[in-house]
Amino acid sequence: MNKTTPTDIRRLSLEQLTTTLQEMGEKKFRAKQIYEWLWKKSAHNFGEMTNLSLALREKLESQFAINAITTSEVQMSNDGTIKTAFNLHDGNLIEGVLIPAEDRMTACVSSQVGCSLACKFCATGLLPRIRNIRADEIYDQVVAINHQAEAHYDRPLSNIVYMGMGEPLLNYKEVLQSIHHITSPEGLNMAPRRITVSTAGIAKMIKKLADDETKFNLALSLHAANDTKRNEIMAINETNSLAVLTEALRYYYKKLRRRVTYEYIALDNFNDSITDAKELVKFSKIIPCKVNIIEYNTVDGLNFDKSSEDRLDKFYQYLQQQGVLVTIRRSRGKDIDAACGQLANK
C-alpha cells in the first residue's frame, strides 16, 4: 500500500498552521514558534526546533516534511562570483549566483525550472520549462547564497535580483510569497527596496504589480526599442509589443511613482548602432527610468557576439549626451557560465 506523501509544512500559512496544531491538541502559541523556526531561523529539520518538546517534534516529523533545497555543485569564478547548482526535492536542478562587489553583495535567484520564453540570446531559453519554483525554494536559494557571502566575504547579502532561470511574472504568486518571507519581520526582514524583479515584459502582470502596491524594484528586459528587432530575439514581444508595454509601464508609474530599470544586452551589429540608441532614448522618455547596458556573454549554439568596445562606447556616450541615466554592467562569472544569460545547469 502506498504511503501518502507528507504535507510540506512550509506550504501552510501561519493561520493554517495554528488551526492544524490546535486540531493536533497543541497550544496555539506553538504555531508561532514553529513558523519562526521555518522563516526566521531557516530550519531545515524538526530536530533543530529545540524549544519544542521531543514529543511534538516527533509528531511533526511523522506528519510533515520540510522539502528544503540542497546544494548539488558549487563553482567559483576567477572574479569571485559563486555559482551554485541546487537540487530540488523532486530531483530537478536550478542555479543561483552570488555576485560580490565592493559596495554590495547580490544574490541572483531562479524562479522557474527552465523557461518557456525562449529568448534567442539566453541559455536558459534553450531549456524547456518544467515547473514553477515554489516560494520556499526561492527563499532557500537566498538563505544558502547568504551563507556563502558570509563564509567567503564576511558580509551578508545586501541585494537580491530575480534574474536567474525563468520568468518571475509567470510565477507571480510564488515569487510574491517568497518576497513576503524575505522581507517580513517574521522572516529575513530585508528591505523591499533591496530586491529587484526582472521581467521579459508581461504587460498585464506589470499592471498587477501596481495594483498589488508592491514595494520592490522592477526591471524590464528590453534589449531593443523597436518591435521588429525585439520580435526577432524575444517571442514574448509578439503578444506584449512595445506599445502594450508602454501602456503597462505608464500605469505602473502612475500608481507607484517608482522608477523602472531597462536592461539592454548589447549585441554586436544588431542593437548597438546610434539608430538603436535613438530608439532607446525615445522609449526612455515614457516614464522615469535608468538603463543598464549589459555585456553579452556568448552561449554555445546561439548566433550573437558581444558589441565591440568602440560600438559600446559610442552607444553609451550617445545615451549620456541625451540625458539618459545609464550604466554599463560588466560581466561577472563568465568563466563558470554564471554571467547574465548563461544559466543552463552546466
Spell out the domain ranges in the chain: 7-65, 70-336
Catalytic (active site) residue 340: yes
Please give the pLDDT value at position 304.
85
Which has the closest alpha carbon to 17: 38, 43, 44, 42? 38
Please give the pLDDT value at position 336.
55
Identify the residue whose cell numbers are 546610434: 274
Q: Pick the catalytic residue: 26, 95, 174, 295?
A: 95
Catalytic (active site) residue 295: no
Rounded (10°) CA dihedral 8, 9, 14, 18: 120
Identify any residues that bridge with 289 across adjacent strands, giving them in sequence order: 260
Instruction: Annotate 156-204 with DSSP letters as a single string.
Output: ---EEEE-SSS-GGGGHHHHHHHHHHHHSTTTT---GGGEEEEES--HH
Which of the listed CATH numbers 1.10.150.530, 3.20.20.80, 1.25.40.10, 3.40.640.10 matches domain 7-65?
A: 1.10.150.530
End-to-end CA, the chain? 39
Identify the residue whose cell numbers are 517534534: 57
Q: Pick the catalytic residue: 115, 119, 122, 340?
A: 340
Which pLDDT tens digits describe the chain residue by residue (346 residues)?
345 788 999 999 999 999 999 999 999 999 999 999 999 999 999 999 999 999 999 999 999 999 999 999 999 988 899 999 999 999 999 999 999 999 999 999 999 998 888 787 777 767 888 999 999 999 999 999 999 999 999 999 999 999 999 999 999 999 999 999 999 999 999 999 999 999 999 999 999 999 999 999 999 999 999 999 999 999 899 999 999 999 999 999 999 999 999 999 999 999 999 999 999 999 999 999 999 999 887 777 777 888 999 999 999 999 999 999 999 987 665 665 655 545 554 5
Helices (H), 202-308: 203-211, 227-233, 242-256, 274-284
The model's pTM is: 0.92
Which of the listed CATH numbers 1.10.1240.10, 3.20.20.70, 3.60.21.10, 3.40.1280.10 matches domain 70-336?
A: 3.20.20.70
pLDDT tens digits along 63-89: 999 999 999 999 998 889 999 999 999
Identify the residue whose cell numbers are 493536533: 24
Alpha-carbon distance of 95 to 141, in angstroms, equals: 9
pLDDT tens digits along 317-331: 999 999 999 999 876
